[in-house]
């Protein structure tokens, strides 16, 4: 049949306009877009077959869909066209004529060819969009979502006001490079994938709960609040099978940061930042593999940055103050010694050591602070002696980070001797250690100080691992029994008391003096006396005192 050129032109324009909005072969708008040309060219059915490659085509392995349908088709009269893309996809179009209509003319067949070509271009473009989306939102190696998808998904949930239903988790597989070394990269990826798949089994709605790869062995997940405990347990350790035939498994553990997202959250970056932050703290901790984000954690992170940035300058400006906490003899309540404890005066704030010492201990910065403290204590003692005051022994804390310093003993002696302080006025407090290497260093330093008439004390005794070996092998002058032994433990009220009694008895038999820390009440004092321990340090007598107030205590000593 003869085509009207003007009518064909207009219909074609219309087709092109509508096709612009079609997103793929299975888009219902595709049918509407073809409608005009379809009726003009008397088409009843367009069937498309998609083959990944020409080889798949020859094997007959492809996907089929109906693009267009309008009335009854004459299955005998079919126009067929095959197209192949630059990436070797093969698309075959079968266009059937309407039943009971005259055959297509030459001119009409030309138009069918144009139509098939155009469908190929448009649907190809839709596939490119799909592919681009895939590259944008998926991790190509593991074939799971990536961080960009996580952001998109959380932004959507925020827009729908549903973000408050979710908890996010940032996690990091522990020692996964060892796994890769052991089984090879490809196997390693399979194990990682199995681990993620198992994690998905904890979820109930994979449309909304998901695990995304940030990179390497780092992931970020989002799930309903009620699955948090299960996810936490899963990440603490899960056996993944390496080889089902010989039933070998491997234990995968992860450090994790969690964030219970509040409904008011308005930004996906906040979520990513907070879980990442919580996980970075979890990685630092030896005791906990999971950390929940809260405002205190934010305070901790801010402290870390502040301490690291301000410490060198603060040390130079002498912003660190020595506070002295009295040690008391319980038979006459006299001052018999003191412990030097550090405080940071920063602007108008007095910052307690718990907020900066653990941070300084992560670098060697703590060593500088310990020597600063020792130096200031010696300076004070020298001054008191020169003023003719009665002086007590002052103990100074030394962090374990000093071990490894070959000159430690020399440095301590030089500092004390620089101020001409008699050695009997100084005691060094050291905490228990866990490793053999530092045990050797500890031993050297305790013997060395002993040889120079400087006393040594084991701090926080009873909280470490190797307490008994430590007292047996080293010549300590003092055991400082940790304050936790004074706690009345509800589940075992007698346990702490029994242990305290025996530690005191043991140290007496070994000829080592003992003192109890954290003595807060008259009850505590009574208990110590009953157990023949007559040295105490704690809030019951005095808190750590600024230097001028401690000087008053020294004054009373003279009276
Ligand atoms: P530590 O050496 O075991 O010091 C005793 C801690 O117990 C002090 O905390 C003290 O204020 C606290 N305390 C004393 N009596 C009581 C009490 O009756 N009840 C309770 N609940 N606590 C009591 P502080 O001053 O906050 O120091 C904490 C830790 O920081 C110290 O524990 C020590 O490990 C470390 N530290 C302080 N100054 C220095 C320093 O100059 N160098 C090093 N390396 N560590 C230091
Ligand atoms: Mg101490
Ligand atoms: Mg202590």
Q: How sure is the predictor about 203, in pLDDT bands with cuts at 50, 70 and 90?
A: very high
Average pLDDT over the chain reads: 90
pLDDT at 26: 66
When pLDDT is cut at 50, 70 and 90, the band that residue 53 belongs to is confident
User: What pLDDT is attached to residue 436?
Assistant: 60
User: How far apart, in whole angstroms, are the C-alpha atoms of residue 269 and residue 279?
Assistant: 15
Distance from the CA of 237 to the center of ligand 1, in angstroms?
A: 35
Q: Whose CA is nearest to atom 43 of ligand 1?
A: 397
Q: Is 370 in the pocket of ligand 1 (CB under 6 A)?
A: yes
- What's the rounded mean pLDDT across residues 477-500? 85
- CA-nearest residue for atom 15, ligand 1, is 538
At 438 the pLDDT is 75
Are 130 and 148 found together in one domain? no
Residue 526's Cα: distance from chain center in Å?
46
My answer on whether 289 and 337 are in the same domain is: no
Q: Is the Cβ atom of 63 under 6 angstroms away from ligand 1?
A: no
Q: Is the CB of 462 under 6 A from ligand 1?
A: no
Closest CA to 119 of 83, 153, 151, 87: 83
**Highest mean pLDDT pick, 25-39, 45-59, 283-297:** 45-59
Mutate to test the pocket of ligand 1, among 517, 522, 524 (most ligand atoms within 8 A of CB): 517
Q: Do 130 and 270 have their domain in common?
A: no
DSSP E strands, 356-495: 393-397, 426-431, 455-461, 478-481
Please tell me the predicted confidence (pLDDT) of residue 463: 80
113 within 8 A of 81, measured Cβ to Cβ: yes
Indicate if 399 and 545 belong to the same structural domain: yes
- Residues 351, 476 share a domain: yes
Q: Is residue 343 part of a domain?
A: yes
Q: Are residues 149 and 119 part of one domain?
A: no
Predicted local confidence at residue 299, as pLDDT = 83
Question: Does 512 lie in the same domain as 367?
Answer: yes
d(CA 374, CA 395): 9
Ligand nearest to the CA of 429: 2
- As a whole number, mean pLDDT of residues 19-37 equals 79
Q: How confident is the model at residue 386 (pLDDT cuts 50, 70, 90)?
A: very high
Which residue owns the Cα nearest ligand 1 atom 33?
A: 397
Domain boundary among 138, 156, 185: 138
Cβ–ligand 1 contact at 373 (below 6 Å): yes
Tell me whether residue 302 is in a domain: no
Both 119 and 178 in a single domain?
no
353 lines ligand 1 (CB under 6 A): yes
459 lines ligand 1 (CB under 6 A): yes
Give the whole-angstrom CA distance, residue 151 versus residue 163: 12
Ligand 1 pocket mutation pick from 353, 373, 394, 542 by most atoms within 8 angstroms of CB = 353
**How many A from CA of 242 to the centre of ligand 3?**
47
Looking at residue 244, its pLDDT comes to 66
Query: What are the CA-CA distances from residue 97 to residues 29, 64, 100, 107, 478 (Å)?
Result: 21, 19, 9, 15, 103
Quickly list DSSP for 147-168: HHHHHHHHHHHHHTT-GGGEEE
Domain final residue pick, 138, 171, 197: 138
Closest residue by Cα to atom 27, ligand 1, is 353
pTM, full prediction: 0.64
Q: Which atom of ligand 1 is nearest to the CA of 352?
A: 26
What is the mean pLDDT of the segment spanning 251-271?
95
Is 376 in the same domain as 249? no
Looking at the structure, do residues 371 and 254 belong to the same domain, yes or no?
A: no
- The structural domain count of the chain equals 3
Q: For residue 426, report the distance from its CA to the centre of ligand 1, in Å.
A: 17
Residue 316, pLDDT above cutoff 90: yes
126 & 148 share domain:
no
Is residue 277 within 8 A of residue 293, CB to CB? The reply is yes
User: In ligand 1, which atom is closest to the CA atom of 544?
Assistant: 11
Look up the CATH number of the domain holding residue 73.
3.30.450
Cα–Cα distance, 297 to 135 (Å, whole number): 35
Place of tokens 């004054």: 555
Q: How far is the CA of 353 from the centre of ligand 3 (A)?
A: 12
Boundary-marking domain end, from 83, 112, 138:
138
Torsion 9-13-14-19 (CA) sign: positive
Average pLDDT for 103-109: 91
Whether 544 and 410 map to the same domain: the answer is yes
**Does residue 299 fall inside a structural domain?**
no
Separation between Cα atoms, residue 22 and residue 2, nearest integer Å: 30
pLDDT tens, residue by residue, 262-283 = 999 999 999 999 999 999 888 8
Nearest CA to ligand 1 atom 22: 518
Atom number, ligand 1, closest to the C-alpha of residue 429: 2
Protein residue with its CA nearest to atom 8 in ligand 1:
341
Report which ligand 1 atom has the smallest distance to the Cα of 399.
44
CA geometry: angle at 310 spanning 306 and 314, to 5°?
135
Distance 86 CA to ligand 3 centre (A): 73
Q: What percent of the chain has pLDDT over 70?
A: 95
Q: Is 481 in contact with 515 (CB distance < 8 Å)?
A: yes
Neighbours of 406 (CB within 10 A): 9
In a domain, 305, yes or no: no
**For 259-273, 297-311, 488-502, 545-559, which range has the lowest pLDDT when averaged over its residues?**
488-502
The domain in which residue 59 lies consists of 5-138
Q: Sign of dihedral through CA atoms 407, 408, 411, 414? A: negative
């Amino acid at each position: 049949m003869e085509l009207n050129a003007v009518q064909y032109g207009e219909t074609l324009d219309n087709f092109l306009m509508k096709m612009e909005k079609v997103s793929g072969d299975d888009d219902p708008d595709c049918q509407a877009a073809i409608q005009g040309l379809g009726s003009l060219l008397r088409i009843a059915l367009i069937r498309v077959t998609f083959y990944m490659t020409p080889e798949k085509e020859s094997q007959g392995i492809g996907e089929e869909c109906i693009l267009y349908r309008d009335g009854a088709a004459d299955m005998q009269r079919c126009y067929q066209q095959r197209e192949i893309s630059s990436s070797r996809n093969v698309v075959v179009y079968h266009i059937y004529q309407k039943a009971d209509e005259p055959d297509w003319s030459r001119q009409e067949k030309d138009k069918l060819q144009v139509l098939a070509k155009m469908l190929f271009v448009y649907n190809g473009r839709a596939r490119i969009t799909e592919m681009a989306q895939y590259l944008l939102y998926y991790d190509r190696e593991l074939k799971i979502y990536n961080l960009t998808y996580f952001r998109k998904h959380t932004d959507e949930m925020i827009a729908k006001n549903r973000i408050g239903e979710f908890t996010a988790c940032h996690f990091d597989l522990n020692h996964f490079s060892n796994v890769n070394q052991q089984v090879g990269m490809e196997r390693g990826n399979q194990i990682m994938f199995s681990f993620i798949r198992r994690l998905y089994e904890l979820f109930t709605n994979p449309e909304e709960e998901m695990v995304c790869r940030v990179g390497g062995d780092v992931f970020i997940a989002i799930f309903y609040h009620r699955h948090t405990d299960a996810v936490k347990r899963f990440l603490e350790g899960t056996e993944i099978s390496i080889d089902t035939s010989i039933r070998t498994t491997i234990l995968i553990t992860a450090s994790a940061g969690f964030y219970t997202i509040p409904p008011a959250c308005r930004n996906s970056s906040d979520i990513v930042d907070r879980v990442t932050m919580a996980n970075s703290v979890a990685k630092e901790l030896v005791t906990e593999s999971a950390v929940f984000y809260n405002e205190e954690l934010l305070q901790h992170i801010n402290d870390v940055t502040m301490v690291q940035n301000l410490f060198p300058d603060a040390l130079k400006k002498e912003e660190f103050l020595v506070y002295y906490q009295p040690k008391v003899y319980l038979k006459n309540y006299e001052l018999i010694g003191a412990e030097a404890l550090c405080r940071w005066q920063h602007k108008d704030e007095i910052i307690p050591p718990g907020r900066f010492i653990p941070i300084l201990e992560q670098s060697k910065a703590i060593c500088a602070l310990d020597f600063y403290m020792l130096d200031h204590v010696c300076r004070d003692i020298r001054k008191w002696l020169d003023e003719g005051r009665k002086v007590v022994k002052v103990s100074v804390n030394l962090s374990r980070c000093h071990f490894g310093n070959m000159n430690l003993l020399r440095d301590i002696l030089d500092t004390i001797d620089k101020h001409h302080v008699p050695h009997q006025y100084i005691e060094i407090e050291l905490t228990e250690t866990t490793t053999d290497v530092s045990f050797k260093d500890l031993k050297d330093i305790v013997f060395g100080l002993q040889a120079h008439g400087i006393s040594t004390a084991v701090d926080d005794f009873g909280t470490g691992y190797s307490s008994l070996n430590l007292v047996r092998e080293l010549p300590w002058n003092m055991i400082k029994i940790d304050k936790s032994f004074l706690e009345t433990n509800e589940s075992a009220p007698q346990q702490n008391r029994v242990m305290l009694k025996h530690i005191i008895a043991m140290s007496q038999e070994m000829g080592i003096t003992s003192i109890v820390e954290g003595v807060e009440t008259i009850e505590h004092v009574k208990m110590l006396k009953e157990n023949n321990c007559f040295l105490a340090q704690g809030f019951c007598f005095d808190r750590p005192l600024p230097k001028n107030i401690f000087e008053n205590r020294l004054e009373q000593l003279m009276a």
